[in-house]
Amino acid sequence: MRIFDSIDRRILDELQVNGRLSMVDLANKVHLTKTPSSGRVKRLEKEGVIEGYYAKLNPLKLGLNHLMIVHVNLTKTVDNSLKDFHEAVNQIPEIETCLMIAGPFDYMLKVRTRDIVHFRDLLGEKISKLPNVMQTHSFAVMETVRESNVIKMQEERS
């Protein structure tokens, strides 16, 4: 694992909060000049630590008010069954997140749709027909209490 110095950690923390910071503003926040700040950001991008920048959209403003969690059990988890499932899941845009789980089910899907009718159609026509799906269990999300894409950079311990 790569060890990050305190300036790299501050840069990563700042960019996660506001990826649109100008290089001058970022440099001021991490107490460097523009050139070394820019060099560090480019290095972090090149190393793959920073994978990209994006706009966070409000799903409610887009009419995507319905959120479900779907647990999926597969008939088999050998050979190409996992690969086939992964490829098929990536073709369904309503699936925001797909996590392989160690536990009583194989995958957990976070699925966002317009409403329950849209979800029911998606479940019946696409999710249940994914490769090797044996069983699904769906749970309606009543409220998102906390959601974050921020990975807090911890101080290195000596």
* 101 pLDDT above the threshold of 80: yes
- Report the pLDDT averaged over residues 96-125: 97
Beta strands per DSSP E along 65-129: 66-74, 95-100, 107-113
User: Which pLDDT does position 128 carry in this prediction?
Assistant: 97
User: Which pLDDT does position 149 carry in this prediction?
Assistant: 87
* 69 pLDDT above the threshold of 90: yes
Fold for 6-46, please state it: Arc Repressor Mutant, subunit A (1.10.10)
Enumerate the β-bridge partners of residue 95: 111
3 falls in which pLDDT band (50, 70, 90)? confident
User: Which pLDDT does position 73 carry in this prediction?
Assistant: 97
Q: For the whole model, what pTM was predicted?
A: 0.86
Question: CATH for 66-140, among 3.40.50.700, 3.40.50.720, 3.30.70.920, 3.30.565.10?
Answer: 3.30.70.920
